[in-house]
């Protein structure tokens, strides 16, 4: 087991509450990690409430694009009537707030925002497509029937995630995840949105995107030492300034309606003031076995991504790599949050990479900050105009944010290679092949989906294609196998992680060569992490 018995929990370090500067250090921290000189607020620090509220809002602004995109994509695929969309979007924010509070308080206790996962979007769209194409009748609208089937699949698949997490199955694999495996996983997390329409659409408003990115870069990299506001709020300031500019240009007629950069405030004015959000608000979830199996593939992809997120946030927060115990409680809590998301009618819940990038840019790794932001999101989720206002942020502004945030995450992934022997041919082979596989395999499955005839989903078309292969047909042609392979194969993080894990543990290499020896010196030991049971039950 990594670490030693002399480590002390980071919770024992007095929390900062005065808003003062953190003393820069580059030496080992109390828990065996390396504290970064860029950390302004550590995990246990508690900035003043007003400052924490702004910092928490900033954390959430980094993920609003994704947390708005997922419900809007699902609503469009289901054909959900417009009057229900604000409530549907608000549900995702309420679930995000509660899931984040649960994870930061009772789960892994890392400052990671929880939100709607893209890794579960592919099976969700497949479920919706099947139900909408074959509505059940009996007076139940097709969109509601699709949503209830989606809820049932998420709840049952999440129960498996709860078992996988709390039984420690993922945590026990931790010893097999060297920096050679974790580095490409985190890099691929950072590369997930390089093809997103907010970044690479053919009609992109490049001046506004580059203006947004330039603001964030200027505030975080060039002006941070001139003003504490620039140092702490580069993302928030960048988005607000870019949004105001886009709003002015839209009002002046420079940006026409329907063009990238146009800000439409009509939906904000017309949104209901309050929306009722509660469990089973859409009805009782329905369970279909084939849909559950497809969603399980999305859950597996989500777990792999979360494992990379845990290592990334630990690295940025200046603490040791997560222990088996912390991983166990983190994945288990994500499973419970997914069960809750399914009961509420959201599209799932997982750790969000976006706010990890914000930690890298701002140096704010405070758990308290994320909890304050989560509480705020929980409240405003019931406020209709808020969701509409967030949805009005133009895609080029979101694109500029993505370039800054996800570029930062790529850098964090590469920084894990400091522990690895980069003169080793086997390490370079594992890194190169896993990164390449994480890019080309999803591209292949994307092309398969694009080639599918109308009315035939990507997974179904893949199954049909594989059924014609003499040796593989009986296996890959089966719906259950095809759905799993298609969903996992469409997720670059999963592909890269599986390939890196397999090659790194199959190809001979010493612990020193793979970075395990040096990493073990800074890794967190199980006794360093106090779970909710340790703190609230055993303490009594």
Residue 114 contacts residue 100 (beta carbons within 8 Å):
yes
Residue 531 contacts residue 330 (beta carbons within 8 Å):
no
Residue 476 contacts residue 482 (beta carbons within 8 Å):
yes
274 forms beta bridges with 383
pLDDT digits (tens, 9 = 90+) for 393-433: 898 998 998 898 888 888 888 988 989 999 999 999 999 99
532 within some domain: no
Q: 81-117 burial, b if ≥16 CB within 10 A, otherwise e?
A: eeebbbbbbbbbbbbbbbbbbbbbebbbbbbbbbbbb
Residues 6+ apart with CB under 8 A from 58: 233, 235, 236, 358, 362, 364, 373
CB atoms within 10 A of CB 276: 9
CA dist 336 and 106 (Å) reads 11
What Å distances lie between residue 130 and 146, 299, 438, 484, CA to CA? 8, 20, 28, 16
Q: In a 3-state reduction of DSSP, which class is residue 28?
A: strand
Is a pLDDT exceeding 50 seen at residue 7? no
Range of the domain at 473: 42-527
415 within some domain: yes
Q: Name the token pair of 359.
A: 């930690």
> What local confidence, expressed as pLDDT, does residue 38 receive?
66
The total number of structural domains in the chain stands at: 1
437 within some domain: yes
191 within some domain: yes
Residues 34-61: what's their mean pLDDT?
84
CA dist 119 and 264 (Å) reads 30
507 within some domain: yes
CA dist 29 and 522 (Å) reads 9
Q: Nearest 10 degrees: CA dihedral of 361, 362, 367, 368? A: -150
CA dist 496 and 434 (Å) reads 5
Higher pLDDT, 527 or 196: 527
Residue 38 contacts residue 364 (beta carbons within 8 Å):
no
12 within some domain: no
Residues 169-181: what's their mean pLDDT?
89
Q: pLDDT band for 477, please (50, 70, 90 cuts).
A: low
End-to-end CA distance of the chain: 28
Residue 482 contacts residue 464 (beta carbons within 8 Å):
no
Q: pLDDT band for 239, please (50, 70, 90 cuts).
A: very high
> What local confidence, expressed as pLDDT, does residue 284 receive?
94
Q: In a 3-state reduction of DSSP, which class is residue 282?
A: coil
Is a pLDDT exceeding 50 seen at residue 19? no
2 within some domain: no
Is a pLDDT exceeding 90 seen at residue 171? no
430 within some domain: yes
Q: Name the token pair of 97.
A: 């707030």
Q: In whole numbers, what is the pLDDT of the chain averaged over residues?
A: 85
Q: Name the token pair of 31.
A: 């828990």
Residues 263-288: what's their mean pLDDT?
92
SS3 content of the chain, % helix, strand, coil (to 5): 65, 0, 30
pLDDT digits (tens, 9 = 90+) for 490-516: 888 889 999 999 999 999 999 999 999
Higher pLDDT, 152 or 362: 152
% of the chain surpassing 90 pLDDT: 43
Q: pLDDT band for 475, please (50, 70, 90 cuts).
A: low
> What local confidence, expressed as pLDDT, does residue 286 receive?
94
Helical (H) or strand (E) element with 350: strand 350-351
Higher pLDDT, 1 or 277: 277
Is a pLDDT exceeding 50 seen at residue 146? yes
CA dist 122 and 134 (Å) reads 19
């Amino acid at each position: 087991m990594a670490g030693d018995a002399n480590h002390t929990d980071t919770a024992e370090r007095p929390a900062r509450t005065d808003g003062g500067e953190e003393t820069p250090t580059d030496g080992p921290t109390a828990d065996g990690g390396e504290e970064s000189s860029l950390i302004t607020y550590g995990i246990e620090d508690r900035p003043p409430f007003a400052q924490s509220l702004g910092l928490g809002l900033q954390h959430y602004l980094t993920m609003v694009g994704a947390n708005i995109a997922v419900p809007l994509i699902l609503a469009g695929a289901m054909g959900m009537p417009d009057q229900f969309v604000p409530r549907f979007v608000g549900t995702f924010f309420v679930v995000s707030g509660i899931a984040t509070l649960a994870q930061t308080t009772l789960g892994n206790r890392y400052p990671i925002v929880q939100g709607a996962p893209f890794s579960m979007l592919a099976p969700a769209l497949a479920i919706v497509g099947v139900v909408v194409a074959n509505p059940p009748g009996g007076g139940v609208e097709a969109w509601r029937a699709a949503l209830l089937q989606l809820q049932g699949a998420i709840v049952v698949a999440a129960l498996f995630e709860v078992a996988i997490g709390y039984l420690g199955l993922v945590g026990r694999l931790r010893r097999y995840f060297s920096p050679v495996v974790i580095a490409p996983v985190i890099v691929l997390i950072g590369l997930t949105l390089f093809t997103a329409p907010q970044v690479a659409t053919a009609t992109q408003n490049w001046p506004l995107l580059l203006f947004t990115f330039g603001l964030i870069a200027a505030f975080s990299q060039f002006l941070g030492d001139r003003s504490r506001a620039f140092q702490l709020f580069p993302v928030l300031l960048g988005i607000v300034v870019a949004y105001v500019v886009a709003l002015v240009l839209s009002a002046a007629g420079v940006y026409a309606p329907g063009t990238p950069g146009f800000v439409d405030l009509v939906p904000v004015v017309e949104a209901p003031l309050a929306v009722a959000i509660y469990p089973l608000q859409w009805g009782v979830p329905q369970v279909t076995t084939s849909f559950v199996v497809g969603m399980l593939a999305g859950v597996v992809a989500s777990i792999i991504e979360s494992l990379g997120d845990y290592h990334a946030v630990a690295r940025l927060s200046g603490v040791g790599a997560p222990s088996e115990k912390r991983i166990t409680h983190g994945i288990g809590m994500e499973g419970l949050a997914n069960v809750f998301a399914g009961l509420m009618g959201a599209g799932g819940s997982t750790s969000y990479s976006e706010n990890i990038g914000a930690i890298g840019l701002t140096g704010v790794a405070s758990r308290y900050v994320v909890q304050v932001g989560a509480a705020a999101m929980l409240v405003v989720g019931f406020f209709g105009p808020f969701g509409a206002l967030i949805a009005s942020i133009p895609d080029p502004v979101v694109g500029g944010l993505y370039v800054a945030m996800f570029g930062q995450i790529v850098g964090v992934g590469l920084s894990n290679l400091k522990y690895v022997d980069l003169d080793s041919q086997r390490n370079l082979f594992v890194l190169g092949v896993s990164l390449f596989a994480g890019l080309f395999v999803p591209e292949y499955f994307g092309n398969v989906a694009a080639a599918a005839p109308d009315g035939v989903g990507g997974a179904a078309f893949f199954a049909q294609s594989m059924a014609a292969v003499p040796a593989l047909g009986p296996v890959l042609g089966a719906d259950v196998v095809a759905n799993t392979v298609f969903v996992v194969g469409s997720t670059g993080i999963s592909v890269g992680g599986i390939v890196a894990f397999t090659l790194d543990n199959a190809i001979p290499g010493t612990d020193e060569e793979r970075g395990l020896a040096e990493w073990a010196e800074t890794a967190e030991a199980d006794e360093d992490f106090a779970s909710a049971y340790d703190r609230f039950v055993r303490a009594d």
